Structure 1
Amino acid sequence: MTMDVHARYRTEGGGELVPRFNERFILSLGKCGNCLVCDDELNILPLSRASLKTLKQNSVNKGDAGEVIVRTSKEQEELDELKQSLEDTPNVGVLVELSKTLDQARAVLTFLEACSEKTNRSTIALTAARGRGKSAAIGLCLAGAISFGFSTIMVTAPEPENLVAVFDFVLRGLKALKYQEHLDFNVTYNNASGREQTKCITSIEVHREHHRQIIRYAKPQEKDKFATAEIVAIDEAAAIPLPVVRALMSSERLTFMSSTVNGYEGTGRALSLKLIKELRDAKKLNQTHAASQAASQIAGVRTKKGEFKVHEQRWKAAADAASGASSNSTGASLLEIELITPIRYATGDPVEKWLNNLLCLDCGSSMGDKLAGGAPAPSDCELYVVDRDALFSYHALSESFLQKMMGLYTSAHYKNSPNDLQMLSDAPAHAVFVLLSPSAEQDGNSLPDILCVIQVALEGKISRKAVEAQLARGHRSAGDLIPWTVSQQFGDSNFAQLSGARIVRVAVHPHVQGMGYGSRAVELLYRYYNGEMIALHGDGDESTEEESDDNDPNDNDSDNGGIDETAKGILGEKLKPRKRLPPLLLPLTEVKAPRLDWIGTSFGLTAQLYKFWKRAGMRMLYLRQTTNELTGEHSTIMVRALPRRTGFDDAWLPAFASDSQRRIVSLLGGPFQTMDVKSAGAILADFELYHNSQVNSSGNGNEAGERAIQARSGLSSTSDTISMEELNYFLTPHDLKRLEQYGRNLCDHHLVTDLLPATARLYFTGRFGVEFRLSNLQAALLCGIGLQNKTIDQLTVELDLPTNQVLAMFNKAVRKISMAFNEIAEESEKKNMLSDKARAKIEKDAEKLKNVTHQTLDEDAEEGAQVALKALKSSGDEEYINNIQDVVQDKSDQENNEVTNSAEIKTPGKRKLSGDDKEVSASSKKKSSKKDKSAKKKKSKR
């Protein structure tokens, strides 16, 4: 049986779709006690045999129909007692009288108690499953707030239709409080919702006793309308973006929140996992601060045996500690209320139980159980492949394992809906892996503890023609998130032809989160797809053929409930879970991995998640400029290449990453200006670290490839330090002087604010050289001020540091940058002092001076003469050369005679020759005799 939703699961590179969800749904109908499956002639099919048998046993025969027996429960008795005790309480008893369950009555009392204190700044969070009366409780509370004198009450929800039940019970509450429509209050409807039959109330204006009060609806994004509100009520808060909800919550007013934590419309986890957790942590911090302050006041001054211990101060301190908020605390307290008793369903209703089991809606409650096997070392755990045919076969063990898996999804992810369950079961490109403890194989009698679950979607293998055709029309098919996004952003249709695996979810058990199990699972998954795990067996011949189970001796359902066993066709068909199925769990070494080129992920950017995926070896390729509608986070894509598996050229990864770096650096002052400076600094630090590693590894014999990558990325000049000629395009000498003055504390930081964008861009693109580095805090400050255009006050709040410390660290960063600029200027001046030819000659002469040997002046002169003669001989004029030699010889003889005569005149007496003088005279005689002989030979030639 095919469904329309299956069209979204089919991809060009995916396999054949198997409707496992439909099979499990049909088999689950046999376990629903209030379900009878009939044919078109109202003949009960064998699937409903168990329901028919239960119906016969429980019905009380009275004529032809059964009799409904209503019993009063203990909870109902407590509710009646509570209503009776509050009958005489003004403005409260009539509202509690409208409550249907004890949980709802207690919630209304809590709300009204908070409203009775006008100075209360509490935040009340109401969570429950679907059909528990959350919206009704909010409406009754708002009616009570009107009776307590609140003037301005704002109500918000994703859509006005979500508040139909809220305003309905506001009207019921006002009428119970003796308010009359058109006399005491007026109702305003919204007819612009596109539904003429559905009139949504947008405001209720109360005007009794010359006091104007109003309950008004406003969109969550219109936060300016909430400025004057005394009470803000947020219904279905999990469906509103988290930053919007956080902005609506103020410590100066009372805030009501309600949200559905599970239900067939979706399971909202952002409220409970993120926002309420933040409020709970803030409450604990306030309690700790109040307790410490109380202890200090109780202790008093140690001198004079505590004479300053005043009883009133001690009582006040103890009261502050008990209430969880100190006298100087600015945070609002948190009250959590949960509704358990159903109103739409009866208690223990079989239909609700069947729906929760089928769609795994209430599986998050089982996550409170402790791990039976403890917390083993992550390095000892192994990853297993989950066979989806066995997982969705509706066997008892498979169902228990599925509930555990979905429980991890619910506890670890911000949103989980039944659509995700159907995608997991039917999508052909999806796969599931679980991380189990090393003792999982020995525990054969029980289900192993699931430490981590990874859901993977295989993407890619899209033809180039299909990519170009769809991108030309501005359209892309469903699925293949990373290939389509990267191809569209970089204009490269070749990337879509590669195949890869996108990690959809990584869910870790809540008791062992942050202990390394997620990193271990991702590491094993990378090794599996990279071909580092050798498959010991082949694909196997896993047969999924069904056996004939008609004569199964273990079939305990022998009572046919009045159904003819000999019937043929649909009346004789028995629908049971298949018996012959492949193993539920298989080690990675027994499953052959597909040949992939990359492994990646897509997630909402936070500093913690980015650190996790960066530690897994992935690089950022894309960061969405608009935020996610639900979480308010920027979606990002990170990818890691698998070179060993394919052996292809993976130069595309650093090229795309460098391009992404340039984009993010340019957009930090625009769409990414509101991003946390810690996240922005972590991203840019990762780019800088990878760039330095690329430069250091460029001498490994692959310089041509590195230059090609840099050319493709548009950063061909970033491997060298910036030159002075390039620097002059960004900064003038006067700008460099200003930076130097601020580095020496001679001017204010406002004087160099205009220079920081260009300076920060040069630093974060690696133009200062490999050895130049700023500390993490200094880089974050440079990023926040220079690229994101944030003020010092904003960075002080984000970094939680004093202003003087922020300014001091920023001054150190500017001083380092100024010194680097001065070094670049000095090197440029040294090179420009002489011309190129003169500098080359000087450098050549300097090289010669380095090789000078110990020789006399005569030997040096003779060597120079020989060089000159060689140069003349090369010209070809031999006669001119001989004449020059004769002139030189005659001149040298004449000089020798003059030197000899002058020496005789100056020395009246002969001194005794030493051994060295004898050697010098002997060598000079030999040289002179050689010169005479050479001169005679030349004359004879003439």
Structure 2
Amino acid sequence: MSLSSLAADLRAEAERANERRLLVLSGPPDATRRAAVDAVEAADLPLPDCTAVSAAADWPFEHVGPRESRELLGRTQGAIVVDGHDECSPNAIGRTVGAVDGGGLYVLLAPDLATWPQRRDGFDESLAVPPFGVDDVTGTFRERLVATLRAHPGVAICEVDEGYDDPAGDAVEVRDDGLTDPWPARPREAPEPPADAAFADGIYRACRTADQAEALRELEALRGGDTTDDPQPAVVVEADRGRGKSSAAGLAAGALALEGRDVLVTAPERGGADEVFARARERLAAADALAGVDEDRIAADSGGRVRFARPPKAAALPDDPDAVIVDEAAALPVALLERFLDGPPAAFCTTVHGYEGAGRSFDVRFRGSLADSGRELIDVRLDEPIRYAAGDPVESWAFRALLLDARPPVDQLVADATPETVEYETLTPERLLADEHLLREAFGLLVLAHYRTEPDDLARLLDAPNLTCRALLHEGRVVSVALLAREGGLSGETRERVYRGDRIRGNMLPDVFTSQLRDLDGGAPVGYRVMRIATHHAVRSDGLGSRLLAEIESEFRERDGRKRAGERVAHAGRPRAGERVDYLGVGYGATPELLEFWRENGYRTVHLSTTKNDTSGEHSALMVRPLTDDGADLAARHARWFRERAPGVLAGPLSGVDPDVIRRALRAVDDGAVPDEPGLSERDWRVVVDAANGMGSYHAAPAAFTELALRELILGEAGLDADAERLLVEKVLQNREWDAVADDLDRVSTRMTMRAFGDACEPLVEVYGTDAAKAHREYWTN
């Protein structure tokens, strides 16, 4: 069989079944690129409907670079050629595989499949973070990728010779024709508008499937209840990628705008909302009601509008919208999603399996918040693909190859797991490759640990030389997992470059220590950062996460002890065998609950970022758990510097942060960062004592109150309750006005807030006050 006849047969079969077929062309780069063009032409696919994702530029149709493959999200093409020679990016596959229409071809170019896992390319270079080089990167991900290509139906594999120049010639050897002889696809009937629909019939006739029409019918709930006493609805629209959920949301947004309603749309990235805006604009134009359009806003003649805002801003519900649509909700932190529950009717559209983000975290964590919110919960799921038939083999291959549907073990298998029943193990890439169930469970839990997981993360887990994985297993099932990144141990030359402004990949804590906090030696100690840690939701809060952290600490402390004794330590992970580890670290979006979890596990605050994450709206906390003297020195000086800069940043860029975040961050600062005695003068103490007795003013000696507040919030020796601590944070450290403090803390009045402040000062005088201060206190009792 020639390449031309195979391509024609694949296209014919794909059209008959309304499916796609995958054609793999392996061999030299130039030869496989020529063969790909010939295959597309032989399949009689229109060149304007084809796109190449390639670092090479010589294509007769549209081409984008691998890092611009995001441009294909939401588009539909007849054929997509992904060139894996210069850079095989899992993200590029994840972004593009769903963009091929039914009846089309997905073409993958690769070197010889037998040797491909051993080759290094541009993507591998991105995994080689300092101090590792590209030769340290393994090929486990591509070994698994090749295995899925060879095993999966609907995948044709051809070997192309160097001298290829004719699709009808013998320079192509067909190893697997990929033909499956499927049944012809059933015609798809256009959905009928429901008899009792509130939206116009034309809106429903724009739907492509019955699933989409059903979702649109449920999205009518965004119009609100009949009375103000009715609970606000929350519509959850779940689907795998390519089912038309964003399109349905866009149709609903357009219908609401036609009625004069103000619809606020948000998504992790502006481009992610393109489909919502395109369908809304289409419906307004079809009704001849389009009044104006700009990049982030569509206006209707009725006065309604559809507008976009970034997630943190949208969560503040600017200009009081009538309805909110959160697209790709699974790719946003749960804490941010919860802020939308205090507003108008809202729709949360989420991809269950797909490049945009995994829906498990949304499903497990956010649904509890929805249940507690008092909202009317409306669930709808879309199963029928829009672009191709259900059961499409290319979609099934992508799910398996990229683990888009990875899940932790079912609840029943781990429900009786306790810290006493589990075993601590290292999950090496070799072990994960050999055990598909173990890989799916571990990766499924890691997906839960973060609101955004991409296919590249699977390749990092399997190939990145700086990463290693630890887990707790209960009867062979993964119940808790941590992904660790080796950081630091950087040469003096590298540290100097970072100090002068260069960025360093894969070394988050050393980079911050050196570039932002101006510690020239901050990248010298070796640390392991806990990138992600997750515990199965069926046994969360049972101590398993803490047990895992304790085991990790014990392992690395034991390694240091053996190293000091002059022994070589065999290390099952990839980062340097037997290397001494000076500290464990973590960086994450700070919430009171997470700060308390890490504090309870012995981690201590060394930094709180002054800027918010664009997606989560949270400030990042960096925490350290020292293991050696060098790690202790690093942690001690950064804890001290954090305390010293706290007054400036808390009254400045952090003045609006939740006081509970500040309380928890300060309580997690190492006690050694606090001087032995408060540095208050005799007059300072008189002012504090007077304030405790309802006289004088905080403004008479603000630095004195600041020092005492920091001391108490770090040490907690005066035993203030949470309300008193919040008062110290807002008034003393964040320097808010009395009226604002009273409002924020729900105090009866400003006067009562000032009185409560005096009450909070009394224990500070009792615990930290000098003899002179306590003597002055007697002045007020006589």
- Return the match for 2:358 from 267, 272, 284: 267
SS in 2 for 1:278: helix
Q: Deviations over 1:50-73 (max 9, x none)?
A: x64x63xx36xxxxxxxx62347x
CA contact (8 A) 2:584 2:626 kept: yes
Shift of 1:118: 5.7
CA contact (8 A) 1:378 1:516 kept: yes
State the distance in 2 between where 1:819 and 1:414 align. 46
Is the alpha carbon distance of 1:226 and 1:410 closer, same or farther for their aligned partners in structure 2, counting shifts above 3 Å?
Answer: same
Shift of 1:384: 0.7
Shift of 1:527: 0.7
Name the residue aligned to 1:18.
Answer: 138
**Quick check: 1:775 aligned with 2:720?**
yes
CA contact (8 A) 1:434 1:454 kept: yes
CA contact (8 A) 1:620 1:638 kept: yes
Alignment of 1:773-812 (within 5 A): 773-777=718-722, 778-790=724-736, 810-812=757-759
CA contact (8 A) 1:486 1:622 kept: no
State the distance in 2 between where 1:103 and 1:243 align. 30
SS in 1 for 2:657: coil
> Which residue identity lines up with residue 419 of structure 1 in the other structure?
D
Q: Deviations over 1:906-935 (max 9, x none)?
A: xxxxxxxxxxxxxxxxxxxxxxxxxxxxxx
Task: State the percentage of identical aligned residues.
Answer: 23
**Quick check: 1:763 aligned with 2:720?**
no
State the distance in 2 between where 1:649 and 1:111 align. 54
Q: Deviations over 1:536-586 (max 9, x none)?
A: xx99999xxxxxxxxxxxxxxxxxxxxxxxxxxxxxxxxxxxxxxxxxxx7
Shift of 1:813: 1.6
> Which residue identity lines up with residue 249 of structure 2 in the other structure?
I
Name the residue aligned to 1:498.
Answer: 525
SS in 1 for 2:445: helix
State the distance in 1 between where 2:400 and 2:253 align. 35
CA contact (8 A) 1:264 1:359 kept: no
SS in 1 for 2:598: helix
Name the residue aligned to 1:69.
Answer: 184
Q: Deviations over 1:680-728 (max 9, x none)?
A: 22232344xx43xx5xxxxxxxxxxxxxxxxxx7x7xx213546xx343
CA contact (8 A) 1:87 1:93 kept: no
Shift of 1:140: 2.3
Shift of 1:516: 0.5
Shift of 1:625: 0.9
State the distance in 2 between where 1:771 and 1:222 align. 35
CA contact (8 A) 2:569 2:578 kept: no
SS in 2 for 1:495: coil
Q: Deviations over 1:860-885 (max 9, x none)?
A: xxxxxxxxxxxxxxxxxxxxxxxxxx
Greater mean alpha carbon deviation, residues 492-501 or residues 815-824: 815-824
**Quick check: 1:96 aligned with 2:204?**
yes
SS in 1 for 2:498: helix
> Which residue identity lines up with residue 150 of structure 2 in the other structure?
G
State the distance in 1 between where 2:318 and 2:774 align. 60
CA contact (8 A) 2:336 2:616 kept: no
Name the residue aligned to 1:258.
Answer: 349
CA contact (8 A) 1:411 1:510 kept: no
State the distance in 2 between where 1:187 and 1:799 align. 44
Q: Deviations over 1:627-665 (max 9, x none)?
A: 11221111122112223xxx6684343232122122224
**Quick check: 1:231 aligned with 2:323?**
yes
Shift of 1:509: 0.8
- Return the match for 2:482 from 439, 454, 464: 454
Is the alpha carbon distance of 1:402 and 1:216 closer, same or farther for their aligned partners in structure 2, counting shifts above 3 Å?
Answer: same
Is the alpha carbon distance of 1:605 and 1:477 closer, same or farther for their aligned partners in structure 2, counting shifts above 3 Å?
Answer: same
CA contact (8 A) 2:211 2:384 kept: yes
Alignment of 1:59-208 (within 5 A): 69-71=184-186, 83=192, 86=194, 91-115=199-223, 117=225, 119=227, 121-146=232-257, 149-157=259-267, 161-170=271-280, 172-173=282-283, 179=287, 181=288, 185-186=289-290, 188-190=292-294, 202-206=297-301
SS in 1 for 2:159: coil
* Structure 2 alignment gaps of length 5 or more: 1-118, 777-782
CA contact (8 A) 1:672 1:788 kept: yes
Shift of 1:14: 3.0
**Quick check: 1:719 aligned with 2:676?**
yes
State the distance in 2 between where 1:769 and 1:234 align. 38
**Quick check: 1:34 aligned with 2:154?**
yes
**Quick check: 1:387 aligned with 2:428?**
yes
State the distance in 2 between where 1:677 and 1:497 align. 34
State the distance in 1 between where 2:305 and 2:773 align. 71
Shift of 1:163: 4.1
CA-atom RMSD in angstroms:
4.1
Name the residue aligned to 1:850.
Answer: none
TM-score by length of structure 1 reads 0.60
CA contact (8 A) 2:329 2:349 kept: yes
CA contact (8 A) 2:570 2:577 kept: no
Shift of 1:525: 0.7
State the distance in 2 between where 1:769 and 1:678 align. 13
CA contact (8 A) 2:610 2:654 kept: yes
- Return the match for 2:547 from 506, 520, 523: 520
Name the residue aligned to 1:378.
Answer: 419
Shift of 1:95: 3.1
> Which residue identity lines up with residue 480 of structure 2 in the other structure?
C
CA contact (8 A) 1:619 1:638 kept: yes
CA contact (8 A) 2:233 2:345 kept: yes
Shift of 1:30: 1.4
Shift of 1:435: 0.7
State the distance in 2 between where 1:616 and 1:721 align. 28
Shift of 1:96: 2.9
Alignment of 1:275-314 (within 5 A): 277-283=368-374
Is the alpha carbon distance of 1:106 and 1:805 closer, same or farther for their aligned partners in structure 2, counting shifts above 3 Å?
Answer: farther
> Which residue identity lines up with residue 170 of structure 1 in the other structure?
A
Name the residue aligned to 1:547.
Answer: none
State the distance in 2 between where 1:771 and 1:782 align. 12
- Return the match for 1:409 from 410, 432, 446: 446
Is the alpha carbon distance of 1:46 and 1:142 closer, same or farther for their aligned partners in structure 2, counting shifts above 3 Å?
Answer: same
CA contact (8 A) 1:36 1:44 kept: no
State the distance in 2 between where 1:671 and 1:771 align. 25
User: What is the number of residues matched between the two proteins?
Assistant: 639
SS in 2 for 1:416: coil
> Which residue identity lines up with residue 812 of structure 1 in the other structure?
D
State the distance in 1 between where 2:415 and 2:348 align. 37
Q: Deviations over 1:425-466 (max 9, x none)?
A: 1111111111123xx4xxxxxxx1111111111122211122
**Quick check: 1:337 aligned with 2:429?**
no
> Which residue identity lines up with residue 127 of structure 1 in the other structure?
E
CA contact (8 A) 2:256 2:304 kept: no
State the distance in 1 between where 2:569 and 2:342 align. 61
More strand by share: 2
CA contact (8 A) 1:136 1:169 kept: yes
Q: Deviations over 1:110-147 (max 9, x none)?
A: 12255375646323232322111112212322343356
More helix by share: 1
Is the alpha carbon distance of 1:272 and 1:475 closer, same or farther for their aligned partners in structure 2, counting shifts above 3 Å?
Answer: farther
**Larger Rg, first or second structure (1 or 2):** 1
CA contact (8 A) 1:627 1:633 kept: yes
CA contact (8 A) 1:721 1:768 kept: no
- Return the match for 1:671 from 624, 641, 653: 653
Is the alpha carbon distance of 1:681 and 1:756 closer, same or farther for their aligned partners in structure 2, counting shifts above 3 Å?
Answer: farther
Name the residue aligned to 1:361.
Answer: 404
* Structure 1 alignment gaps of length 5 or more: 60-67, 191-199, 207-211, 284-331, 441-447, 543-585, 695-712, 830-942
Greater mean alpha carbon deviation, residues 346-355 or residues 812-821: 812-821
CA contact (8 A) 1:462 1:496 kept: yes
State the distance in 1 between where 2:487 and 2:573 align. 23
Name the residue aligned to 1:684.
Answer: 666
Shift of 1:346: 1.5
Greater mean alpha carbon deviation, residues 34-43 or residues 600-609: 34-43
State the distance in 1 between where 2:717 and 2:471 align. 44
